[in-house]
Amino acid sequence: MTRPTLMARHPFDEAVALTRVAATAQEHGREAPAHFDGQPHPAYANMVGPFGGVTAAQMLQSVLQHPQLLGEPVALTVNFAAAVADAPFRIEARPARTNRSTQHWTMTLLQTDAQGVDATVITATAVTAVRRDTWSATDSPMPTVPRPMDVARVLPAKRVRWIERYDMRPVIGPIPEHWDGAESDSLTQLWLRDDPPRPLDFLSLAAMADVFFPRVWRRRAVMTPVGTVSMTVYFHAGRAELATTGQGHLLGQARSQSFFNGFFDQSAELWDEAGHLLATTHQIVYYKE
């Protein structure tokens, strides 16, 4: 009898996989750092370096794998100091302060440059917490839109690999078809999920917060060079709520408030198909003129 072969890991799980580096004697305290080795994944390659959403997920992964972790993610901020090179990296995660129900984190991603010097590429902070059952409400209801299977999937031109890893179905505000400088509203609404489908968790939710194409392209239909400088994700659901979402689509909505002298902001919301708000996110993005 032939034994069934094990299913290969999902590309996203391969991308966010980190290996814990053995701790030294000085790293065993309550608020000691933990070090992890990682590697960019070719399936999530961007124009320069990897897809920023996966980098954000890797930074969060270092917290979730830390032996001193308390609770679940509440907030994550990632600062992209430089492009991540296609080479191995090391992440240091440190619980800066642990309270009774909250924990504050600092993380740093380093790579060794051509001269053999370790350089800081990414810095990040996070807050985790032990949530209690309390009164809860949502003041940002999900927009009324067609269901995901009633919206055609769009396959953008394959300029970058990471786009292939998401099933994206624009409702309004797709990427411009004609790069003619025409101005329009910056709003985009789209259904999305991992491709192939994967059960939602904090890591994939953090990555999906960055799937929206740059708002300046939508606003003006000019493919100007861009790069995220800082990205924050706020989590409005716990592990149990994410498990209920399963492999279903999320509705994402993104817009900008201002484009000014080389930088623009982007705010976005992510709901599950049942209308639960799972995360909100904010970015500041550099654009080149």
Spell out the residues 6+ positions from residue 162 whose beta carbon is closer than 8 angstroms to its own: 43, 44, 45, 46, 50, 51, 53, 54
**Average pLDDT value for residue range 246-262:** 97
Question: What is the reported pLDDT for 155?
Answer: 78
b or e along 87-97 (b: 16 or more beta carbons within 10 Å of the residue's beta carbon)? eebbbbbbbee
Confidence of residue 244 (pLDDT cuts 50, 70, 90): very high
Share of the chain above pLDDT 70, in %: 94
- Which tokens in the block code for residue 249? 């689509």
Spell out the residues 6+ positions from residue 55 whose beta carbon is closer than 8 angstroms to its own: 49, 78, 80, 84, 109, 122
Burial class (CB in 10 A: 0-12, 13-18, 19+), 55: buried
Task: Report d(CA 107, CA 204) in Å as an integer.
Answer: 19
Query: Is 241's pLDDT higher than 60?
Result: yes
Contact by Cβ (8 Å): 93, 36: yes
| pLDDT, tens digit, 9 for 90 and up, residues 89-127 | 999 999 999 999 999 999 999 999 888 889 999 999 999
pTM of the model: 0.93
Task: Report d(CA 126, CA 79) in Å as an integer.
Answer: 12
CB atoms within 10 A of CB 238: 15
Average pLDDT score, the chain = 93
Query: Is 4's pLDDT higher than 60?
Result: no
**Average pLDDT value for residue range 32-54:** 93
Query: Is 185's pLDDT higher than 90?
Result: yes
Q: Phi-psi region for residue 221, left (φ > 0), alpha (ψ -120 to 50) or beta?
A: left
Query: Is 131's pLDDT higher than 90?
Result: yes
**Average pLDDT value for residue range 197-218:** 97
Task: Report d(CA 233, CA 282) in Å as an integer.
Answer: 7
Tell which wins on pLDDT, 147 or 177: 147
| pLDDT, tens digit, 9 for 90 and up, residues 151-166 | 999 876 667 899 999 9
Tell which wins on pLDDT, 31 or 109: 109
Question: What is the reported pLDDT for 48?
Answer: 86
Contact by Cβ (8 Å): 267, 212: no
Question: What is the reported pLDDT for 3?
Answer: 43
